[in-house]
Amino acid sequence: MAFLWVVLGLLAAALLGWPVTAGVLRIARDVGNPPPPPPAVLRGGLAIGILERLAVAAAILADEPVAIAYVVAVKGLGRYAELKETPAAAERFIIGTLTSMLWAAAVAVPVRLYLL
């Protein structure tokens, strides 16, 4: 039964986080700002976000919080060149990353607590 909860938690963290992250990015774009130009889009963001949420949730479920720091470091280093060139993309990157990680934690922590 514990295996089922872990699998369901990982799937919920990885896949259901996309609409949450997209919604927060939409709110951040619209709140108190004039209509902006189309936002800079970083290629592969959807796939990277799914993998990021999966890794964060797995780290929490495995009681390895230091692994979350590795995820942040790898993601930041991998995008550094693109973020340096485009400030708008950097802002979206930060908002999206924080939202994505908070979603993964919000799903994984209750599953972990239930399994304890």
pTM for the whole structure: 0.81
Cα 42-35-76 angle, rounded to 5 deg: 25
Report how far residue 54's alpha carbon sits from residue 71's, in angstroms, rounded to the nearest whole number: 10
Range of weakest confidence among 17-21, 62-66, 80-84:
80-84
Q: What pLDDT sits at residue 43?
A: 74
Ranges of H-type helices in the chain? 2-15, 17-30, 45-61, 66-85, 87-115
Report how far residue 22's alpha carbon sits from residue 79's, in angstroms, rounded to the nearest whole number: 19
Report how far residue 45's alpha carbon sits from residue 56's, in angstroms, rounded to the nearest whole number: 16
Q: What pLDDT sits at residue 21?
A: 87
pLDDT at 71 over 90: yes
Considering the chain, what is the average pLDDT of its residues? 86
Which tens digit of pLDDT belongs to each residue from 31-68? Answer: 766 655 655 566 778 888 899 999 999 999 999 999 99
Report how far residue 87's alpha carbon sits from residue 83's, in angstroms, rounded to the nearest whole number: 6
The CA distances from residue 27 to 46, 68, 99, 100, 101, in Å, are 18, 26, 12, 15, 17
